[in-house]
Amino acid sequence: MSQIADEIKNQINKRRTFAIISHPDAGKTTLTEKFLLYGGAINLAGSVKGKATARHAVSDWMEIEKERGISVTSSVLQFNYGGYCINILDTPGHQDFSEDTYRTLMAADSAVMVIDASKGVEAQTRKLFKVCTMRHIPIFTFINKMDREAMDTFELLDDIENELGIATCPVNWPIGSGKEFKGVYDRNTRKVELFSDTHKGTTQGEVRKISIEDDEIGQWVTDAQLAQLREEIELQDGAGAKFDQALVSKGELSPVFFGSALTNFGVETFLKHFLSMTTSPLPRKSDKGAVDPMEEKDFSAFVFKIQANMNKAHRDRIAFMRICSGEFEAGMDVFHIQGGKKVRLSQPQQMMASERKMIDKAYGGDIIGVFDPGIFSIGDTLTTSPKRFTYEGIPTFAPEHFARVRQVDTMKRKQFIKGINQIAQEGAIQIFQEFNTGMEEIIVGVVGVLQFDVLKYRLENEYNVDIRLDNLPYEYIRWIENTDIDLDRLTGTSGMKKVKDLKGRPLLLFVNDWSIRMTVDRNKGLELSEFGRS
C-alpha cells in the first residue's frame, strides 16, 4: 500500500500540466486568456498581455522584448476549473524563440497545439511538435479563427497528418467558416453548437446547442450547409481514425477541435474535452526507473529553466522546476543531487494568472520558481527522498544560428569568459570551441537569433564586456553518437566544421542538409543526432 497521504494524492490527481504551442499569431495568447476567463482567474480577457509587460518591467534585459513587443521568456499560469488545478506553460511564440521554448515542453504532460484555420501547420509548430513526439506526450489540436475564411477541413486534417506525422480525430466539425461560420457539430452528441460572437469574448457568453435532427436547426444552418455537413461527416466516419484514448495518451492520435478564440467560441467545449482526455502528472524517468507521483511520497523535482537577473542589483536567478512527486513547502530543505548537498528552497514563486506570487505549498505536477544563488543547472534533480536518484536529463536542442564571439577589449578576457559561461549555464546560449585547433575562439550557437542580442546586451550590462559577433554560415549542428570514431580522420565537406562543447564532446556544424548527407556517406558507421544528451 502506498504511503502517500490522501490529501497529497488528491492534489496531484487533479493537476493538469500542459504546454500551449503555436506559430506566432495563431491565437495562443487569446486562447490562454479565454481559459483563464473560465477559470475565473481574470475578469476581462485581454489582460494577459498587458500584465505580462508590466511584470517584465522588473527585468532589465527584457527591455529587448519590450522594445520589440515580443515575449522572450516563457511563463507558467495556474488556475482552477471544473475541479482541476491547471498549469499552463506558455511558450514564446515569436520566430526568435529560444531553447527555453523546447525545454518548457519537457516540463509538460501534454501539449495543446493552436493552428490558424487559414494557414494550417506552420514552420514553428513543426519544430515544437518534434519535441512533443520525442516525448510521446498527448497532443490536442485547436483549430482557431474559424470566424475567418478557413482552409477546407479535410485539407487541414491532412496537413496535420502529413506535416506532423500524427493521426487526427476531429471531436467536432465546423459548419462553414468566415462570414458563413455557423458553429461546430459534435460528432459524439450529434448536436450543433451554434456560433455567436455577440460578446466578443469579454464574458463567458451563452452556448446554444441544437440536435442535428431538430427542425429548428434550419433556422440557423442553410440546407446546403447541412447537406455538406452530412456528406463530410459520412466521409470522415468512414475513412477517418476512430477516437481511441489509448492512442491519444501515447501521443499517436490528436483529438481536433474547431473554434474561434477571439469570439470565445468553442473554447469551453475544448477545455472540457481536453481536461477529460489529457493526463494527470505522469511518471518521470530517472536512473532508478520511472518515478510515479502516485507511488513516490517524497518531494522530487527537476530544473528545466533558469531565468537570470530578475533584479540586476543582486544578479540573482530564478530556477524553474517541475515538481514530479510529493508536496513542496516553502523554505523546505531538499537534497540537490548534482550539487551533492542540501539546499533550502526559498522564495518559491508561482504565477497566478499573470501575477507572480509567493506560495506556501505546491504538489507534483506544479511548476515553481525558486531563488537560485547560482548553484542550479538545467536538468538538475532535487529531492527529499533518502534514496537519491537523478531524473533523466533534458536534451540539448540544436541551435540553428552560429557566430564567432570575441571581447573587444582583450584585457577583459576573464570577465568575458565568466559571463559567457554563466549565460551558457543558464541555457540561453550554447558555446563551442574549435576542435583541435588550439584556438581560443568561442563559437556561440543559439536557437533564435534574438539570443545574440540578449547575449550582447547582458555581457555589456552585467559584466561590462563589449563583444563582437561575426556570423558563421552554419545552420545545423549534430552530436556524434559513436564513441569509437577517430575525429581527426573524419572527413566531411567544405561546409562542415568540427567543434567541441563545454564538456569536450565532439560535434559537427554544417551549412546545409547536403553537407550532412555527404559527411554521413563518407564516414561509414557515423551516427549523428539532432539532440544532445545532457
Residues that bind ligand G4P (CB under 6 A): 22, 24-30, 93, 144-145, 147-148, 260-262
Strand ranges (E), 435-522 = 442-446, 467-472, 476-480, 496-500, 506-510
The answer to whether 79 and 86 have CB atoms below 8 angstroms apart is yes
Nearer to ligand G4P, 112 or 324 (CB): 112
Nearer to ligand G4P, 28 or 458 (CB): 28
Distance of alpha carbon 188 from alpha carbon 468, whole angstroms: 60
For residue 131, the minimal CB distance to ligand G4P (Å) is 18
For residue 429, the minimal CB distance to ligand G4P (Å) is 24
For residue 450, the minimal CB distance to ligand G4P (Å) is 15
175 beta partners: 183
For residue 32, the minimal CB distance to ligand G4P (Å) is 8
Phi, psi of 127 (to 5 degrees): -65, -45
The answer to whether 455 and 445 have CB atoms below 8 angstroms apart is no
CA quadruple 51, 55, 56, 57: dihedral sign? positive
Nearer to ligand G4P, 35 or 335 (CB): 35
Residue 484 CB: number of other CB atoms within 10 A? 5
Nearer to ligand G4P, 60 or 149 (CB): 149
Nearer to ligand G4P, 143 or 324 (CB): 143
Nearer to ligand G4P, 124 or 350 (CB): 124
For residue 126, the minimal CB distance to ligand G4P (Å) is 15
Nearer to ligand G4P, 30 or 519 (CB): 30
Nearer to ligand G4P, 258 or 452 (CB): 258
For residue 153, the minimal CB distance to ligand G4P (Å) is 16
Nearer to ligand G4P, 273 or 336 (CB): 273
For residue 161, the minimal CB distance to ligand G4P (Å) is 22
Residue from 35, 254, 41, 215 nearest 133 by CA? 254
The alpha-helical segments, DSSP class H, found in 165-244 are 217-220, 223-239
DSSP 145: -
Please identify which residue in the block is written with the cell numbers 471531436.
Answer: 171
For residue 256, the minimal CB distance to ligand G4P (Å) is 15
The alpha-helical segments, DSSP class H, found in 148-216 are 153-164
For residue 502, the minimal CB distance to ligand G4P (Å) is 33
Nearer to ligand G4P, 23 or 317 (CB): 23
- The helix (run of H) or strand (run of E) holding residue 459 is helix 450-463
Nearer to ligand G4P, 28 or 284 (CB): 28
For residue 156, the minimal CB distance to ligand G4P (Å) is 15
The answer to whether 82 and 275 have CB atoms below 8 angstroms apart is yes
Distance of alpha carbon 125 from alpha carbon 7, whole angstroms: 38
The answer to whether 444 and 417 have CB atoms below 8 angstroms apart is no
For residue 259, the minimal CB distance to ligand G4P (Å) is 7
Residue from 125, 127, 171, 176 nearest 151 by CA? 176
Nearer to ligand G4P, 12 or 146 (CB): 146
For residue 487, the minimal CB distance to ligand G4P (Å) is 42
Residue from 367, 368, 372 nearest 318 by CA? 372
334 HSE (CA, 13 A, CB side) = 29
Separation in Å, CA 47 to CA 36, 42, 52, 201, 248: 10, 7, 8, 12, 33
Q: DSSP assignment of 72-127, as one string?
A: -S--EEEEEETTEEEEEEE---STT--HHHHHHHHT-SEEEEEEETTT-S-HHHHH
Phi, psi of 23 (to 5 degrees): -75, 150
Residues sharing a CB contact under 8 Å with residue 510, sequence separation 6 or more, in sequence order: 474, 475, 476, 477, 478, 492, 495, 496, 497, 516, 519
Nearer to ligand G4P, 13 or 22 (CB): 22
For Cα atoms 42, 48, 54, give the angle at the middle one, nearest 5 degrees.
115
Q: What is the CA radius of gyration of the chain?
A: 25
For residue 65, the minimal CB distance to ligand G4P (Å) is 13
